[in-house]
Amino acid sequence: MNTEHIDIDLARYSDWAFTTSVVVLVGALLLLAVELAYSRGRKADERSREEQMVGAAVRSAVGADSMTPGVVVEDPTRTTDERIGRVGLALVYVGIAMLFACIVLRGLATTRVPWGNMYEFINLTSFCGLIAAAVVLRRPQFRALWVFVLVPELILLSVSGKWLYTNAAPVMPALQSYWLPIHVSVVSLGSGVFLVAGVASILFLLKMSPLAHQDNGFGRMIERLPDAQTLDRIAYRTTIFAFPIFGFGVIFGAIWAEEAWGRYWGWDPKETVSFVAWVVYAAYLHARSTAGWRDKKAAWINVVGFVAMVFNLFFINLVTVGLHSYAGVG
């Protein structure tokens, strides 16, 4: 490996930042899962508050012996759950910051844009997904959704660190082009936002399914999520945002392909699956605005697009061989 222009110390710090990010995000997932598992549902909590207020008013009217009649005492268990959730959310932001540090340090160590191989590309895509989730889920009532966003994010990062890791090195000759920072960054942003959209559609389908009404732990967990229309709206808006971005990423890739290989399109496996995923998302947006296809049918199309995106991220580079094979995989 050519390490002539590599800052080994910065590369090592980048690796440490990556490991720290994964560990912190795992801790955040556990804390947020505790809040989701043990906190009461929003509707049940509101009913409980109403009952407490009514009870306090009745006791005050009949002369009940109370030091502070009419005052509602907050449930300490709920307060503890909220504090756990807030700590978990704080850890999410720390994990995002550490992943950002990992990416920046990698770039400084190699004196190039830090997305020149699959390890770096997945890290950038995961970071974009986390930033998108931080923007979309910024309201306190959406905090429970972080559990379901962090699961695929941690799977991406775990696979990246375990099987896709590549030592810091100069970018391979085939990728030495000004199109690298443009094409890959745009595709990473679109893919990361699509991840949030896919999670929202999956949760929407669960919310609309009979499983959400079962009197068991899973049913109560689903009940604690935002209502189905809110989840559907999150999926739709994030897809609208990501769709043109990912489309431009595909177009930029085609322009780069013409410069590098003399043709805009060659039905390379990654090109093909990217195009299929883009068409699926176009079908979702069309179905979402078509009577009779809204709600469940459209959501299923969005889930298919999400599966195609994940398939494109891993399977194409790990199993198939094509012009997009690089970083020692494929």
59 confidence band (pLDDT: 50, 70, 90): very low
Distances 136 to 90, 218, 260 between C-alpha atoms, Å? 16, 24, 37
Contacts of 212 (CB under 8 A, 6+ apart): 206, 219, 222, 223
Question: pLDDT tens across 212-257, in order?
Answer: 777 777 778 888 889 999 999 999 999 999 999 999 999 999 999 8
**Among 47-61, 124-138, 258-272, 302-316, the range of highest mean pLDDT:** 124-138
Strand, coil or helix: what is 202?
helix
Question: pLDDT tens across 112-158, in order?
Answer: 999 988 899 999 999 999 999 999 999 999 999 999 999 999 999 99
Q: Are 45 and 141 spatial neighbours (Cβ–Cβ below 8 Å)?
A: no
Q: Tell me what pLDDT residue 212 has.
A: 74
Q: Tell me what pLDDT residue 78 has.
A: 58
Question: pLDDT tens across 74-98, in order?
Answer: 444 456 889 999 999 999 999 999 9
Neighbour tally for 131: CB within 10 Å: 17
**φ and ψ of 2, to 5 deg:** -80, 110
Burial of residue 50 (CB within 10 Å: 0-12, 13-18, 19+) is: exposed
Separation CA 280–CA 282 (nearest Å): 5
261 confidence band (pLDDT: 50, 70, 90): confident
Q: Tell me what pLDDT residue 72 has.
A: 45
- What value does the mean pLDDT take over residues 192-201? 97
pLDDT at 177 over 70: yes
Q: What does the angle CA 122 – CA 124 – CA 130 come to, to the nearest 5 degrees?
A: 100
Separation CA 144–CA 224 (nearest Å): 8
pTM equals 0.86
Query: Which residue type is seen at 37?
Result: A
Average pLDDT, the chain: 85
